[in-house]
Amino acid sequence: MLVDKELEEIMKKKMAEMTTQKEPKILELTDTNFDNAITGDKPVLVDFWATWCGPCQFMLPIFTRLSKKYKTIKFARVNVDDAPGISARYGVYAIPTFVVFKNGQLVDKAVGAVGEPGIHMLAQKYA
């Protein structure tokens, strides 16, 4: 029964490690929190998307995966249907559009389903 006890202890330790590891969170931005989210000195890479947009859905797992890789950048998303004012303010007329903000200013933009290389290039520039 010693093996069972040891195994149980190992499993408890592993579970504790897994629950304390922080996953980078992709922020959901709205009219309420957008300006505050982009004003820090940490770059923010924003995905402008919509639920009905096929290319947006294609890009989501890529965006999520790269958010885990680039920890020096905040990753966020704006649903253009819920926040049309933000989209218009930054000239987002096609989706998906990926915009990088630094110190509250738009510094870079990529339009379309640019794939992993496109997001990687944007993130790498500002990481």
> Which positions are annotated as active-site residues?
53, 56
- The tokens describing 108, both together, are 């870079």
Half-sphere exposure of 35 (CA within 13 A, CB side): 4
Q: Give the separation between CA 41 and CA 90, rounded to whole angstroms.
A: 19
Residue 41 DSSP label: S
Specify the 3-state DSSP secondary structure of 45. strand
